[in-house]
Every structure is written in C-alpha cells, then in structure tokens.
Structure 1
Amino acid sequence: MQDDNILKLAYELSETTRNKVDLIEKIMRQTQILALNARIEAARAGVSGAGFGVVAQEISHVSTRINQIAADFRVDVDQYAAQIQEAGTRMSSELRGQRFTDLSRNVVELIDRNLFERSCDVRWWATESALVALAENPEDQDLQSLACSRLATILRSYTVYLDLWVVDQNGKVIAQGRPETYPKALGSDVSSATWFRNAMATRHGDQFAVADIETNPSLDDAPTATYATAIRDKGETHVEPPHV
C-alpha cells in the first residue's frame, strides 16, 4: 500500500543518511590524524616547515568543523525521520480506519437496501392475480397448482429466498414454490407464528411484517428471516385482509 511504502522509504532514507554520516566522520578522523602527523613533521622541519604547519593546523580545524556539521546533521536527520515515520504511521492508521469505515458503511447500505427490497417484493407479490385468486378460493386445486407454479417461477428469478408461501386465514400453508425441496411446508400450521399474526394485523397493503432470524422446521431448520404481508380482496391495498 502507498502509506506503507512511505514509511519504508523514510526508514531507508534515515538508514542511508546515518551510514553516509558515519563514513564522513570516519574520513574526518583520518584527516585529523594526517593533519596531526603533518604538524609534527612541520615542527621537526623547523623554520622551513612552518608554512606547512599552518596548513596542517587549518586542515585540523576544517575536519573538526566538518565533524561537528556531520554530528548536527545526524541529529536533524534522526529527528526529521522520526517525524516522517510518526506522520506516516498516523496517516496509515487514519487511512486504514477510513477504509474500514467506508467498507462498514457500504455493508450497512447493502443490507439496508436488501431488506427494503425484500419488503417491496412481498407487498408486490401479494397483489399477483394467481395468489389473490387462491386466497379467495383456498380449496380450489387448480388455483393451488397455478399459485405454486407462479411461486416457483418467482423463485427461479430470486435466489435470496428459501421458499415462498401462501397461507390461508387460519394459518395453513396452501401453496409454496419449492414443494420438492421442502415437502413439510405445504399444509403446515403457522398460525402461532408472530410474522403471521402481525401480517394479518396490517391495516393496508403498504404495511408488512418481518420476523427476527430463527430456524424454521418446515425449511429443514434453516436460519430464516421471514417477510409477510396480507393478500387482500381483489389485490387492493386499502381493504381488510381476508388472507395472508
């Protein structure tokens, strides 16, 4: 990642600079030794070596000054490198935090959109003519077959659902979309289920009921989030719910 590269470059810059400063200091120590030897030889030479002794003295002063500059430079580099690393670490943490925040927000938005779409689905299908007809005539075998066929067609297009049911006023499942997969569902009694009672209590077709995730025996004990709404007379949205 880019922020990790910045930290790596800052560390490498700091190490390279330290190494170069070490090399400069080593050279300057050698220069000081040479200057000292030159001054000794100049002293032995007497008057004829006096000028050379002055040059050796100046070289010693210069090397000392360069050593001081190198030492100061080392301190500055260490300080700036530490600040760069600290800033890079903080930036890396902030960027990661922002990325995680964005990912979390996207996940929440996806979940929220998905749940809203499920509520739209169930309210829309409650107006489907085949389901309305069966709810009005729950004993009609032909209408039951037609409703099951329509539910199966819907399930082939929507992969998020385990099964779709039509339930009569008494809480009996009278149609489903996957009888081969979940044979225990058809004819089962869901009258005690909270989602059924809440769906039957809705006041108009824009309302719906949803249950917390729980295992469903009729769906092979699969964890299930159930959405339900009432199927109203002639599919109208603002009439009393005779069926769900």
Structure 2
Amino acid sequence: MRAGGAGRGRFITFEGGEGAGKSTQIRRLAVHLRARSGRPVVVTREPGGSPRAEAIREALLAGVAKPHGPFAEALLFCAARIDHLDTLIRPALAAGEIVLCDRFADSTRAYQGAAGGLDPALLTSLEEVVVGQTRPDLTLILDCDPELGLARARARQSADEGAEAGPDRFEAEALAFHARLRTAFLAIAAAEPGRCAVVNAALPADAVEAAIRTLVAERLPGLFTETPGAHGDAA
C-alpha cells in the first residue's frame, strides 16, 4: 500500500543525479500545488528534513562515513530516514497534506547500491524495514547527462557559496560514478513505471516545470480542486 490512501495525503519524490535541478523544480511544483490543490504542501529533503536527520546529512556530505564504505553510509541514510519519516512525513500524510521530497529511498538504491556496489537484496531488506508502507505515490526522475549535471552543480556552488567552496562527498566522485547513477535511476524507472516517470532535465527550467505539471496532473488527478490550465498559466 502506498502513502496516498483514501483521506490521506500524497507523497511525491524527486530523484536524479547531481545538478539535475531537483531543488528548483520542487519549489516550483510546491507553488503550483498550493494554488491548485487546496491542500497544505510540505517541502522537505533527504538526507535531512528533521533536526536529527539534518545533523546526519552534514556528516554524510562532509564524507565522514566514506572511509567506512557504502554499507555504513546506507545505515546512516536509513537512520536519518527513520527520523524524517516519524517526525515529518508520516504526520503530514496522515493530516492529508502533500509531501514533496527532494530524494528518498531510490537515492540509496542508486548511490550506495548501483554506484557503491551494495547488494540490491540488502538494500531492499533495509527499505522494507525503514520505509514500510510509506512509499511514494509518484517519483519524478530528473534525467540529464552527468557532465551537464556536474557543470550545473559547480556553477551553483560558485554562485551560492563562493569559488573557494569545494564539491560535497558525492559531487566529488569521478564521472564514471555519476554515469552509474544515471543508469541506476533509469533502471528504477523502467522497473516501476506505475510509480516513476522520467523527465528530461536537460531542457530549460520552464520546459521541465511544464512537463512535471503535466505528469502530476495525469498521474494524480485527484490532487486538483480544478483542472489545471495551460502549462504557461500563473502558478
């Protein structure tokens, strides 16, 4: 059973490699849904989303767990996810709210699994314990060439933090790592087409936003209090 049963909220996750534009698009979709759905919209992220999970995020992105291998990283991600689910996601869904999450369990499958080499069966077992029935109603996988994504990530860092700031733990990985990530996300989408939809994130941001609005309206029509208008209408 997924998160969005009768009388419950809806859970939409955004996935993809570095620099795919998830943060930008999740903010834009939140504005659109607040105007059109008549429901509260919660925007959150992983790792993070709750005070304890944010502390774990800081350690993970700083590379504290990297010397201990992908299994240690996966356990830390799971610890953060447990607190995030219990503190924020499940209460919001129970209250009938829409939850938009920047990364979720699919990122653990891709980063620590396909790119990090962990046994998929192990990750599936962890996911069953940690996530349980709180699974996304829709997962939007923003896909673009890793070289483009990494270039965007570097440009964002330079703009936001200054040229002296370096890449985080995952951005610093070699291009081959990011190529494996892309393959992993596309494989997840192919294996679960009912839940996942791939969006061409190489397009301009407005075009990506329009594609996402269309997908959400098609996949989750019950979200809207009225039929959404043309892609270019006001949010």
Give the TM-score taking structure 1 as reference length.
0.26
Structure index of larger Rg: 1
- Which protein, 1 or 2, shows the higher relative CO under an 8 Å CA cutoff with sep ≥ 6? 2
